[in-house]
């Protein structure tokens, strides 16, 4: 028979092994199944897709189209091509736009900043057309610009025909493409993103609420946009940030305004509960300084072009391992951003990402005698090696 002390020792060992096993294989339930045509959950920093269903299926986006309209406005504002205090003339076409409206009047002039709030908060079709015409001259020309930006962002399953999302044949996008667009709005134009969190906007003495119900229900939610037509159903692209981790959810084709909010909340709750995101390296941070042959200097600084994030199951940080695979021989001349290896990040045996290791500086060729001498030394180094 086992003694009491022996039993306690065995119990302790079994509990310890169980704890280690759970740490190595965290208990993560299956992702929620949503009542929607297509949906996706992605980490904004790492780009890691956590949940997806029909995410690449082309679908009518309804007013989610306006995310591209407001995105282009942000791009043009940052370039200095337009200004928030621009006075935009309202055309007959904008004034007569059907559907959701900001209630601007034909022939009047409206500040661009007000029009942007009309697009983002009130989902105004009239405001969208007015901004499109202000930027590109006509809504048709603006639609061409929308598609050029979509191609640049890698939205490969998207085609826009208007600035509003009003139904048209061959006007479509996907949950995956909308997530890419939302990431660009949030990460590339943070100064303009604050507008997406505003709950109300009053124009022409008409106060309208933001249709994104999550702005009232979840304090971590600060955007982005709703959409609805009979063809598209009820749609919502939402984003939330908790403790430095930002998630983006896309829900398309839900059955009601309430359903799109509830289904989006399911995605966000699951992501924050079971995953965490870590920043491993900063852009332009020196990670290695290998030997350079034939240069005016004998070494070059290597790093990554962009901040490097990974999203992993909660509690798995200790299992992360990063390694640098640096080219064996690096010779001058070197231009900044030339690639000389990769950064590999693994979680246990799983490779999470491989990111180019680039030169953070340029290195010119050395003089004639320096190059000859380095070639001689390199020959013997390789011979010995």
- Check if the beta carbon of residue 233 is closer than 8 Å to that of residue 252: yes
Domain boundaries, the chain: 38-276, 282-384
Residue 148's pLDDT is 98
Q: Which residues are catalytic?
A: 63, 66, 123
Task: Tell me the whole-structure pTM to 2 decimals.
Answer: 0.89
pLDDT score at 377: 86
H or E stretch at 338: none
Whole-angstrom distance between the N-terminal and C-terminal Cα of the chain?
62
Question: Residue 67 in 3-state DSSP?
Answer: helix
pLDDT at site 7: 46
Beta strands in the chain (DSSP E): 38-43, 49-53, 87-89, 109-111, 200-203, 206-209, 221-229, 233-242, 245-254, 275-281, 302-303, 308-313, 320-326, 339-347, 350-359
List, for the chain, all residue ranges whose pLDDT scores fall below the cut of 70: 1-26
Say which CATH architecture domain 282-384 belongs to: Sandwich (2.60)
pLDDT at 17: 38
Determine contact, residues 258/274, Cβ cutoff 8 Å: no
Range 38-276 classified under CATH 3.40.640.10 = no
Nearest Cα to Cα of residue 126 among 108, 142, 107, 105: 105
Distance (Å, rounded) from C-alpha 327 to C-alpha 358? 11
pLDDT in tens, 322-358: 999 999 999 999 999 999 999 999 999 999 999 999 9
């Amino acid at each position: 028979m086992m003694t009491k002390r022996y039993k306690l020792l065995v119990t302790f060992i079994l509990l310890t092994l169980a704890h280690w096993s759970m740490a190595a294989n965290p208990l993560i339930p299956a992702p929620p199944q949503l009542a929607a045509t297509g949906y996706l959950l992605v980490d904004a920093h790492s780009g890691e897709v956590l949940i997806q269903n029909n995410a690449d299926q082309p679908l009518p986006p309804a007013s989610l189209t306006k995310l591209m309209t407001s995105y282009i406005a942000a791009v043009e504002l940052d370039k200095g091509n337009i200004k928030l205090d621009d006075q935009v003339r309202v055309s007959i076409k904008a004034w007569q736009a059907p559907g959701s409206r900001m209630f601007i009047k034909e022939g009047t002039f409206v500040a661009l900043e007000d029009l942007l709030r009309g697009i983002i908060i009130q989902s105004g079709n009239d405001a969208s057309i007015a901004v499109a015409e202000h930027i590109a001259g006509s809504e048709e020309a603006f639609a061409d610009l929308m598609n050029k930006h979509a191609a640049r962002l890698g939205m490969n399953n998207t085609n826009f025909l208007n600035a509003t999302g009003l139904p048209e044949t061959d006007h479509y996008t996907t949950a995956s493409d909308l997530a890419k667009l939302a990431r660009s709005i949030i990460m590339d134009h943070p100064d303009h993103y604050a507008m997406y969190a505003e709950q109300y906007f009053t124009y022409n003495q008409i106060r309208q609420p933001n249709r994104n119900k999550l702005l009232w229900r979840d304090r971590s939610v600060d955007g982005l946009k709703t959409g609805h037509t009979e063809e598209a159903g009820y749609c919502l692209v939402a984003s939330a940030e908790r403790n430095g981790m930002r998630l983006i959810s896309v829900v398309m084709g839900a059955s009601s305004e309430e359903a799109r909010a509830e289904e989006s909340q399911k995605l966000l709750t699951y992501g924050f509960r079971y995953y965490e995101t870590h920043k491993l390296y900063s852009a332009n941070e020196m990670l290695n300084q290998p030997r350079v042959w034939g240069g005016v200097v004998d070494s070059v600084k290597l790093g990554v072009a962009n901040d490097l994030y990974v999203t992993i199951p909660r509690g798995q940080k200790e299992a992360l391992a990063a390694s640098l695979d640096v080219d064996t021989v690096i010779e001058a001349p070197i231009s900044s951003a030339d690639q000389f290896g990769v950064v590999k990040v693994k979680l246990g045996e799983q490779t999470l990402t491989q990111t180019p290791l680039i030169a953070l500086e340029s290195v010119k060729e050395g003089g004639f005698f320096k190059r000859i001498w380095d070639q001689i030394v390199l020959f013997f180094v390789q011979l010995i090696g």
